[in-house]
Structure 1
Amino acid sequence: MNIQALMQQAQAMQKQVEKNVESAKASLATKEVHSESGNGLVKVTMTGRHVVKRISIDPSLMEDEPDMIEDLVAAAINDAVRQADELYESVMANATGSMGLPKGMQGLFG
C-alpha cells in the first residue's frame, strides 16, 4: 500500500467535502422554515441559517396582555429554530455523507 497515494486520496476527499459543506451552507441560506403559535396568531419565517425573515402578529392579539404576545412570539421563534436545526442536520448529512461520519459529527464542518 502506497502511503503517499493514500494521503493524496484523503486530501482530495477532504477538498470535496469542504466544497460540499460550502454549497450546503449557501443552500441553507435560501431555504426557509415556517412556524406558528397560538393557532396561527403569531407566524415566523426563518432561514436554515437561523435568520428571522418575517414575524407576523395577528392584529387581534394587540388587545391582549403583552406577556401573552411575548410568549407566543418566543414559542414561534423557538419552534422555527428547532426546524432550522433539523434542516441543517439533514443538509449537512448529505454534504458530508461521502465521509461516512457517524450521525451528529457533521457539525464539525459547520
Structure 2
Amino acid sequence: MFVARVTGSVVATQKVASMTGHKLLTVEPYRVDPESNARLVPTGRTFVVVDTLGAGIGEMVLICQGSSARLTPETEKLPIDAVVIGLVDTMDVGGSVVFSSRDRGD
C-alpha cells in the first residue's frame, strides 16, 4: 500500500465490458521526506487507479497495488492493478502529523 494525491481523472469511452461504470483517477504517490521526516513529498510518478470510494481531486488516498487490488468485493473480477482503498484523514510519522485533510483549505 502507499499514499497518493489524486491529480486528475481518466475518461475511456472504449474499454472492456467489465470496466464499464468504474471511475478512473490519476494519482501521484507521496513519501515521507527523507531529509526532515516531518512532511510528505511527491515521488514524481503517476498511476491510474480505480476509485471505489468517490475520491476527489486533491484528496490524499490510500492505494493498494498488484494482485491485492483485486481482493475487494468491488474489484475481484476486474482487470486492474491499482485501487483506492481509503481516504486519508491524517498521517502521523514519529509522533508528528505530516498530513491532515483539515489543512487542505477546501
TM-score bin (small chain)? under 0.3
Higher strand share: 2
TM norm structure 1: 0.24
TM norm structure 2: 0.25
Higher helix share: 1
